[in-house]
Structure 1
């Protein structure tokens, strides 16, 4: 969607953090250059603010072309390399149909219907990560496992001659 004029985007315009998640509203009327700048702004925010969850809200967009979609999808893959998980929310039925008709691969993208669903998905990811970490700290019986520290008073006889080293 290359236009002669569009909404110029400040790198962080419209982005905000909610529940440790960067919310990025994708503008409806912007140029390919604006979307490239938006992608750079997302990457900058993820890197500098140590963001681990991103939601790109595309609900205002009623049209995607291959370039716009590729730019946003590429940004999602890049944030993954920076350690963040990106979820797209708000795809319109016509946009979904057009993406499929253009045979654009979407299999590697996480999507949710609404912003609320996207936040819930990120919450569940955070809690499942916390559960895995908690489970790693427990043994098979569910008891808390602590790492045993060597006792300095227990000296080891390395020479097996009865003297401690």
Structure 2
């Protein structure tokens, strides 16, 4: 799905490793096809994010960055955030937002600042 030039990818159900890799591949291709400068990955429907899923989300963000797109992960549920922290998992330097609106706002703010050397870690809190 797209909103303006931003790609929005929602994960509605837990994906196995093969499905996650397919999701990763498809999303990276969509970035080029739509020339999207921003990507939002909505994980609000997930009640579990395992270590492979967390690593895949980080990889997607890095590949998107290499293709010229900024990535924000939105909708991490409180229980999921708690478990991820307890297990030492996180999103690294990939910014997160509470919901889709906040994620779109983050990308819009960053888009206005393009051309500056502001690293993603300076966008705000990450998990």
TM-score computed with the length of structure 2 as normaliser: 0.85
- Which structure has the greater CA radius of gyration? 1
Q: 2:71 corresponds to which residue?
A: 86
Query: Is 1:110 matched with 2:89?
Result: no
Query: Is 1:65 matched with 2:50?
Result: yes
Q: 2:82 corresponds to which residue?
A: 97
Q: Give the SS at the match of 1:129.
A: coil
The size of the alignment, in residue pairs, is: 116
Q: 2:22 corresponds to which residue?
A: 37
1:5-154 equivalences under 5 Å are 16-129=1-114
Higher share of residues assigned helix: 2
Structure with larger RCO (C-alpha < 8 A, sep 6+):
2
Gaps of 5+ in 1: 1-15, 133-165
Gaps of 5+ in 2: 117-127
Q: Give the SS at the match of 2:41.
A: strand
What RMSD, in angstroms, separates the aligned Cα atoms of the two structures?
Answer: 1.5
Q: 1:146 corresponds to which residue?
A: none
Q: Give the SS at the match of 1:108.
A: coil
